[in-house]
Structure 1
Amino acid sequence: MRKVTASLFSSIDGVVESPGEWQFDHFDENLGALMGTALSTQDTVLLGRVTYEQWADYWPGNQEDAFGSFINPIQKFVASTTLAKADLQWENSTLMDGELKDFVRRLKELDGGDIAVDGSISVVRQLLFAGLLDALTLVVHPVVAGSGQRLFKPGDPRTRLQLVDSQITVSGNAVLTYGPRPD
């Protein structure tokens, strides 16, 4: 069965929204190598509507960037109740058919590499709390963002995880990977 993974950049105060505003002075060669290794196992990406719309405006024009050469040609499935198939103009983008959790359950059963959730905070949350996320990597940058959306909210269900990997990069990023904790 395929693995579903998610990676988010985070500040030490838990902000995961708009990392481009606070993370790039700590994006180092170690982090780039770790990301390259993770990308090499993925052949499918899941995106929420907001991330899709932001990235579809930016990445098609950035083919030379390492992430651009990964994200542009890869199969992308978009979770949205407001977009129509005709709205998805970015290459290899398909609107998810049906409810997110059911779609991901079916996708996991198909042959292929890892399935990544990129950005898409609400998709990460839904899949984590549904028990469909096999690995959650938080790249914690040594910065206090001060404001912005956090991954978790008051009232979220108690969800126990286990640390399966941790690394510290040369500029002080803590790369923490969590998986489901067997009970």
Structure 2
Amino acid sequence: MRKLTAGLFHSIDGVVEAPNLFQFDSFDDDLGALLTGVLGRVDTVLMGRVGYEQWAGYWPNAQVDDDFASFINGVPKHVASDTLTAPLAWQNAQLIEGELLAFVKKLKQAEGGEISAMGGISLVRQLLFAGLLDELTLMTHPVIAGTGRHLFEPGDPTTRLTLVDSQQTAKGNVVSTYARRD
């Protein structure tokens, strides 16, 4: 079975929305190396509508020598949306037909490498609480963002996790990877 992962940039106060507004100078070579390792394992990406729309407006025109641009433009992208219509304009992107969780279960059973949920806070939440997300990585920057959307919300179900890895980067980022504990 294929592994499904997600990684989110995160502030100390729990904000995951628009990390470009709070990352400042905390992104370092250590964090870059960790992310490069992830890109080497992932061969399929799941996206939410909002993330797709934001990224499709930027990455297809980004410089081709950028490692992430080369990766995200070339990788197959499956987009969860009730409002977008096919065909999608971004290369290698297709709309998920039918129910999301059934699609993801089938995708995890198919041949291939790691699947990563990117560009979708709601998508990551839905996959985590449905028990389909194998690992969640939070890359916590040493900053209090103050405003922005959080990954977890009041009323979320109690969900037990196990810490499977934790690293600190040179600039004080803490990268913690969790697996769901049954």
| TM-score for the superposition, normalised by structure 1 | 0.97
Structure 2: distance between partners of 1:60 and 1:40: 20
Map 1:1-150; keep pairs closer than 5 Å. 1-62=1-62, 63-86=64-87, 88-150=88-150
CA RMSD of aligned residues (A): 0.7
Query: Which residue identity is paired with 1:5?
Result: T
Map 1:143-182; keep pairs closer than 5 Å. 143-182=143-182
Answer whether contact 1:161 1:181 (CA < 8 A) is retained. yes
Deviations 1:124-154 (A, max 9, x none): 0000000000000000000000000000000
Bigger Cα displacement from structure 2, 73-82 vs 19-28: 19-28
Answer whether contact 1:6 1:118 (CA < 8 A) is retained. yes
Structure 1: distance between partners of 2:168 and 2:108: 31
Query: Which residue identity is paired with 1:82?
Result: T
- Say which SS state the counterpart of residue 37 (structure 1) adopts: helix
Query: Which residue identity is paired with 2:114?
Result: D
Answer whether contact 1:77 1:96 (CA < 8 A) is retained. yes
Query: Which residue identity is paired with 1:157?
Result: P
Q: Which segments of 5 or more consecutive residues in structure 2 lack a partner in the other structure? A: none
Q: Identity of counterpart residues, as a percentage?
A: 61
1:169–1:180 CA distance, 2 compared to 1 (3 A) = same
Structure 1: distance between partners of 2:12 and 2:149: 13
Structure 2: distance between partners of 1:56 and 1:35: 20
Displacement of 1:65: 1.4
Structure 1: distance between partners of 2:96 and 2:42: 18
Q: Which segments of 5 or more consecutive residues in structure 1 lack a partner in the other structure? A: none
Answer whether contact 1:7 1:119 (CA < 8 A) is retained. no
Structure 2: distance between partners of 1:55 and 1:161: 30
Answer whether contact 1:59 1:68 (CA < 8 A) is retained. yes
Displacement of 1:24: 3.8
